[in-house]
Each structure stands twice: as C-alpha cells, then as structure tokens.
Structure 1
Amino acid sequence: MTIERRLAHAGFTLTRDYPAAVERVWSAFADEQEKLSWWGAGDAMEPAEWAFDFRVGGRDVAEGKFHDGPVSRYVATYTDIVEHHRIVTTYDMWLDGVHMSTSVASLEFEPIGDGTRFTHVEHGVFFDQFRADDKNREVGTRGLLDALGRYLA
C-alpha cells in the first residue's frame, strides 16, 4: 500500500466562560490529580501510560486504547507558562504508532466577574493519511472543554 505524502493545516479558537475563579481553572491544568479527574476520553479508553511534568520544558504523556478502536498517544512539551495567565504547548499525536499530527496550542485564562474566560487557540499540521482528521481535532478539544466545565461545576 502506497501512502500519499501530503499535509493538511488546521487552526481553531475555542472560548468558554467558566463560573469558577481563574485560580480554580488554572489548578485543573497545573495539578496532576485534578487534571486526571477530567482530562482524556474517560470510560471510552483503557489508560496505558501517563506522565505529568508541569513546568517549562516539561512533558506530558497520555496513551490509551479505545475499547472499540486504536491506541492513541499524546506527547506535549510546555514551552511557556505564566501562572494564572497562559500555558503554551507543542504536542504530537500518534494513532496505533503512526505519527498523526503536530500542533501548537495556547491556553489563556482571563478573569471575568466571578468567573474565568478560557481561550484555547490551536494550529496543527496533519500528516499523510490523517489529513482528513484536522476537523476531528476541534471536535475532540470541544469535548475536553466540556469535560472541564463539568469538572468545575
């Protein structure tokens, strides 16, 4: 089987207003036990590997097998962290061991009234047979932000 060597580029911005103080929303990302409570695919996935190193230059790893599907692997490097203001990462995704994409994501935390305006901006490059998955990344990120909202409620 010949793989067509092509790229797709995709970007999106998602904004959510959460009824929780910036410090609380920040902690959901910066504290390992909190992040474990809401991050990922939940019961749809059997976890295999997890690493959490929340610092500039630190790496996070989340790998697991979907019950009815492939093994997903996420490896992120923190490139910028300003407490209670922003987190910037670069991250790579693999599906069944095949490199799927590389992305840069910025997460911004802004106080609004009694809550937080959270903005996720992402730019990704999708490789070869995964070019059509560029639209799924936004859908998956929306799911994560919905899970964060439920966790914070």
Structure 2
Amino acid sequence: MTIARRLAHAGFTLTRDYPVPRERVWDAFADESQKRSWWGGGDTVEPGEWAFDFRVGGHDVDEAAFHDGPVSRYEATYTDIVEHVRIVTTYDMWLNGVHMSTSVASLEFESTDEGTRFTHIEHGVFFDQFWADGPGREEGTRGLLEALGAHLE
C-alpha cells in the first residue's frame, strides 16, 4: 500500500482562567510529580516510557498505549523557559511508530485579579496519512487543559 505524501498545517490558541495563583499553575508544568499526575490520558491509557527534564534544552518523553488502541509517543524539547511567565517547546508525535506531526507550542502564564490566565498557542505540521489531524490535536489539548483544571482544584 502506497502512502500519499502530504503536509497540512494547523494552529490554534486556547485560553483558560484558573482561580489559583500563577505559581501554582506554573508548578503543574515545572514539577515532575505534579505534571505526571494530570498529563496524559489518565485511566484511558497504559503508561509506557516517561522522561522529564524541565530546562532549556531538556527533553520530555511520554509514551502510552490506549486500551485496545494505538501507542502514542510524545517527545518534546524545551526551547525557552522564563519562570512563571512562559514555556516554549518543539515536539513530535508518533502513532504506532509512525511520525505524525511536529509542533511548536508556547505556554503563557499571566496573573489576574482572580488567579491565572493561561494561554496555549500551537502551530503544527501534520504528515502524510495524518494530514487532517489538526482538529484532533486541538481537541486533545482541550482535554489536557481540563485535566490541568481538575488537578488545580
């Protein structure tokens, strides 16, 4: 079977207001035990390889098998970190060993009177059979931000 070679580009911006101090939201990303508790698929996946290296140039890995489904692999490199202000990463995703996308994501943390405004901006390139996956990536990121909100409660 021949795979059609294509590229698609997708981008999105998601903003959430969390009723907790900016440092608390920041720590959910910067502290490994906190990130591990909310990041990923929860009970919907069987965890696999995990690596956490929160520093500029550091790499994160999160691999998991969905129950009765595919294996997803996330590999990120931190390209910019300004404490309590922003995190910028480049990351790649694989599904069952097939490279599906490369993305740049910026995470911004802003104090508000009510707590923290968190903004996730992402630009991705999707490859070949995954060319139409941009909306799915946005939906998955929405799920991560809901999990983050539950973690912060």
TM-score (norm 1): 0.99
Could you tell me which residue of structure 2 aligns to residue 70 of structure 1? 70
Map residues 32-51 of structure 1 onto 2, 5 A cutoff: 32-51=32-51
Q: Equivalents in 2 of 1:20, 1:80: separation in Å?
A: 24
Paired AA for residue 118 in structure 2: F
Aligned residues: 153
Give the Cα–Cα distance (whole angstroms) in 1 for the partners of residues 145 and 85 of structure 2. Answer: 17
Name the structure 2 match of 1:130: 130
Give me the whole-angstrom Cα distance separating, in 1, the residues matched to 2:87 and 2:43.
27
1:18 aligns with 2:22: no
Q: Which 10-residue stretch deviates more, 53-62 or 126-135?
A: 126-135
Match of 2:113 in 1: 113
Tell me, in whole angstroms, the C-alpha distance in 2 between the residues paired with 1:40 and 1:49. Answer: 12
* Amino-acid identity (%): 78
**Cα drift, residue 68 of structure 1:** 1.9
The structure 1 segments of at least 4 consecutive aligned residues displaced by more than 4 Å after TM superposition are none
| Amino acid corresponding to residue 141 of structure 2 in structure 1 | T
CA RMSD of aligned residues (A): 0.5
- Correspondence for 1:3: 3
> Which 5+ residue runs of structure 1 have no aligned equivalent?
none
* 1:136 partner letter: G
Match of 1:151, SS? helix
Deviations 1:88-122 (A, max 9, x none): 00000000000000000000000001400000000
Q: Secondary structure at the match of 1:121?
A: strand
Q: Give the secondary structure class of the aligned counterpart of 1:110.
A: strand
- After superposition, the C-alpha distances for 1:58-110 in whole angstroms (9 at most, x for unaligned) are 00000010002000000000000000000000000000000000000000000
Letter in 1 for 2:143: G
